[in-house]
Each structure stands twice: as C-alpha cells, then as structure tokens.
Amino acid sequence: MQTLDRTPSLIDALRTRRLKLAALVDFPVVLWSGQSSPRNFRANTFPFRASSHFLYFAGLPLENAVIRLEGGKLTLFIDEASPASALWHGETPKRDEIAAAIGATEAYPLSELKPEDKDKGEILKANPSKWANGAATIGVQDRETHVGQFVMCQRNVFRDVGRIEGIDLELAQAIVSLRLIHDDLALAEMRKAATVSIAAHKAGMAATRKARVEAEVRAAMEAVIIANGMTCAYSSIVTVHGEVLHNDQYHHPIQPGDLLLADVGAETVSGWAADITRTWAVSGKFSPTQRSLYNVVLAAHDACIAAIRPGVEYRDLHLLAARTIAAGLVDLGILHGQVDALVEQDAHALFFPHGVGHILGLDVHDMEDLGDLAGYEAGRTRSDRFGLNYLRLDRPLQAGMVVTSEPGFYQVPAILQDPERRATYQNVVDWDRLAQFADVRGIRIEDDVLVTETGAEVITAALPTDAEAIERLVQG
Ligand code: GLY
Ligand code: MN
Ligand code: MN
C-alpha cells in the first residue's frame, strides 16, 4: 500500500460499522489482516490479500496488521517499515498516518499487543486496549498468522466452522449479520468492481475472433482489470470446456464452432468483488442448438431475477431455475415428463448440478471461510439431494443483500456417463435427442443482484445477456 487518502466518508462508514458491532457484542474483538504466504522462498510470495473481516472494519489492505475493537473504539497495531523495507519496497505510510486514515484513536507496534499475563496483569489493566486475551477473533487463512493467533489468544482459534465456539462463534454470527446487508460504502465499491468487470467481459468478447487459445481471451479480460488498478476476485474461468465448473486451464485452442464460457470478476483495492459469467459463440454466431439451450439458461436467469425481492427464499429461486431449465429441456425434447415431477426427482441436476448462486461481498462466495454460517439461515443445513446439495445460500432475502443469479446447462461426462445415473434417469432423458446438442458443453449466465426494498437491481446489467446483443459484441 503506497498511497493513503484520508477520506471522511471512509472514516465515517468504518465508525458506523464498529458501532453496529459494539451494539451486538459485549466483549473486545481482535482481528488480524494476515500476511502473504511464501511461493517458493520467503522473499517471493503469493500476492497479499488481507482477511475480509479485517478489511470490513479497517477499510485498507494493511499487511501484517491487527485491529482491536471495543465499544466502537479502534486500536491499530502495525510495525513501521524498516529502512531495509524502504530499499526494496519504497516509502510506505507511517503508523500514525494509517491510524488517522481509518479512524483509529490509538496505534502501536505489533509487539505492544499482549496476551494477558498474570505477572503483568496490573500494568495491562491500566491500558486495556493492548489486550488480546479475552477478546474474540476469527481465524485467518494464512498459516503463519493463524499460529500467531493461538499464541496471542492463548487458546485454539478454529477455522472449521463446526468447531468455532464461545465468543468466537458469537463474533462470527454478529459479523455475518452486518456483512450480509451492504452499506453505501460497500455498494459503491461493488459497483466499481462491476463496472470494470463489465469492461473486461466486453474486451474478452471483442478479442475472441482473433484469439487462437483461451489464454489470449483471458489476457484481454484480465488486462482491463489490471489496467484499472484492480485484481481478479477469483481465478478466472475462460474456457471452451465450460462443463468443467471451476476450470483453471487456458491452453485449449478455440475453434469457430465452440462456445466460450468466461467467469471473470474484478476486486477493488479494498477487497470488494464482482462475479460475472457470460457465454458466447467463438464465431460470433450461436448455432441453432447453442442458441436454443442458451435461451433456456437465459429464461432461468431472468425468471430468478424477476422474482428477487425481500422475503423471498433463495432456495425457491433455485427451484424456480430448476423448473425453468427442466421446462426448456422438455420443450427441446431432451427431457420427458412433467416439470414438477422432473425437479422432484432431480432430473434437472443432470444438466444443472450446482446451486443458482450465492451471496457476494468482500469474498466472491461471501464469508465462505465461515462454512455455511453466512449462507444458511440458523437451523438449516445442506440437503443431500442431488439437485440441492451444492446450494450455497438458503435464507430469505433481505434488502441490502447482493446475490448472484447464475443458472447453467452443462454436459458433464462424469454425470452423464455414470451408469447409476443413466439407469436412474433412463426413462426421462432422450439420449439420442441430447446427442444432437453435442456442440454445447457448458453455458452459464451470471449477474450480481442487489435486493432492494421493493425488488431487485442488477448491478451488472450494463453487460447484455440476450444472444443477439452478445453476438454483436463478439462481432465487434
Ligand atoms: N466465480 C465463481 C462462482 O461463480 O461461483
Ligand atoms: Mn458466482
Ligand atoms: Mn462466477
């Protein structure tokens, strides 16, 4: 972090978040930002990404920093850069400047954060803002910092959601309730991420006809994100093998008859994400079979968005997508049967095996470090049904949540060639008819949707979804 703006709106928003947390918990909270992990030796690291819980309350991606929150008060712990660091990394802001930028009232070196110590107890009581012991925390992802959390808190700090307990669990529940409902600062950041992601998708479409391999399209897309000073919110998926749901390979040649699926989203400097998928024809023109399946997926995508409003169960949106896809496949002669009965027996999941989406925020699957604590309403657990077990969100929607709508159609060999599944669904799938759609391996259409008081706002709506508009963008 080289530059620092002291923005009153940032300081105000962070203070409001702290005060809201203080109203929910009556114990101190200590949050670590974490540090970059070594790649092949200590000085050559993976890019640093601050913990999202830290970012939510500190606002800045500070490496190796700790914040302590109590009663709305913020104390920062961070070391000043050493002279050697200035040689390799340039000048960085001073501790007091950082503290002022985020509204911290006290700031100390990291060594001043102390576990409670019987011998020093009296001294520490005189300055309680330096205590870590007795405070709640959330386990960070990098191992080195995580081990340090055990030492400082003098107890186990669990990351597996089933094992988080006591005040750590109370803290996680409080943070979930805050981070589920986005404030203006969060929404402004997510809109920035959306705008850049939309430009990236348009660049990818425009680059496709001249590209020889997937990597060239990925490069055109990520170039836009990098040029805007952002990073990718997750590993980009840019592939002619859209049936591999989280494909992370980019070496396949792209041919005129292929569909290309691109799931690419930007992340702002302070960590807020966008998550967009579009699928287009490499030639710039969908074949008749591609177009008909594309329109089935689009119908499901649009139906879900039209149904989004406060109070609606997200699980019902998933089932609406499932019914819309099943109905479309019946119309195309790929499935036989009555739509509700097909969904009841999970026949849609042969082609749409994942959930229709998830919450979005500082993480692309927001707060998934806490397992299903954020995604699932208290008392609910994952279904073991083939058509429901990958559903990441099962809550009634509330105004201020941002969710994705991302139905898809895939021909996954591991599912469709599985002898048991073929036996189960032998009478509902017309396998000969399905073979006529061999030029469709994977289609997904994904947008980011803000739940408003009265309905929904698609924050990624400036990127078209209809087949003809996509064709025009690819054709340039
Ligand atoms: N980009 C990952 C997802 O859509 O869930
Ligand atoms: Mn998504
Ligand atoms: Mn995505």
pLDDT at site 187: 98
User: How far, in Å, is the centroid of ligand 1 from the Cα of 275?
Assistant: 6
pLDDT at site 399: 98
Q: Which of 201, 261, 277 to mutate to test the pocket of ligand 1 (most atoms within 8 A of CB)?
A: 277
Write the DSSP assignment of 257-297 as a string of letters.
Answer: T-EEEEEE-EE-TT--B--EEEEEETTSS--HHHHHHHHHH
Sign of CA dihedral 16, 18, 21, 22: negative
**How would you list the strands of the sheet with 29-32, edge to edge?**
29-32, 66-70, 73-77, 106-108
User: How far, in Å, is the centroid of ligand 2 from the Cα of 357?
Assistant: 6
Which pLDDT tens digits describe the chain residue by residue (476 residues)?
A: 556 766 778 999 999 999 999 999 999 999 999 999 999 999 999 999 999 999 999 999 999 999 999 999 999 999 999 988 888 889 899 999 999 999 999 999 999 998 866 556 665 666 778 888 889 999 999 999 999 999 999 889 998 888 999 999 999 999 999 999 999 999 999 999 999 999 999 999 999 999 999 999 999 999 999 999 999 999 999 999 999 999 999 999 999 999 999 999 999 999 999 999 999 999 999 999 999 999 999 999 999 999 999 999 999 999 999 999 999 999 999 999 999 999 999 999 999 999 999 999 999 999 999 999 999 999 999 999 999 999 999 999 999 999 999 999 999 999 999 999 999 999 999 999 999 999 999 999 999 999 999 999 999 999 999 999 999 999 99
User: How far, in Å, is the centroid of ligand 3 from the Cα of 183?
Assistant: 23
* Residues in the ligand 1 pocket, defined by CB under 6 Å: 234, 263, 275, 358, 364, 406, 446
pLDDT at site 160: 82
Distance CA 425, CA 418 (A): 11
Helices within 308-426 (DSSP H only): 314-331, 339-344, 413-416, 419-424
pLDDT at site 122: 60
By C-alpha distance, which of 60, 149, 143, 37 is closest to 107? 60
Question: What is 8-179's CATH number, 3.40.50.300, 3.40.350.10, 2.50.20.10, 3.20.20.70?
Answer: 3.40.350.10
Name which residue sits closest to atom 3 of ligand 1, judged by CA: 275
User: How far, in Å, is the centroid of ligand 2 from the Cα of 394?
Assistant: 15
pTM of this structure? 0.96
Helices within 385-447 (DSSP H only): 413-416, 419-424, 431-435
Q: Which of 218, 225, 275, 356 to mutate to test the pocket of ligand 1 (most atoms within 8 A of CB)?
A: 275
Q: Ligand 2 is a single-atom ion; what residues have CB below 5 A from it?
A: 275, 404
Query: 276 with 364: CB under 8 angstroms?
Result: no
CATH architecture of 184-475: Alpha-Beta Complex (3.90)
**Domain map of the chain by residue range?**
8-179, 184-475
Distance CA 438, CA 144 (A): 48
Distance CA 217, CA 209 (A): 9
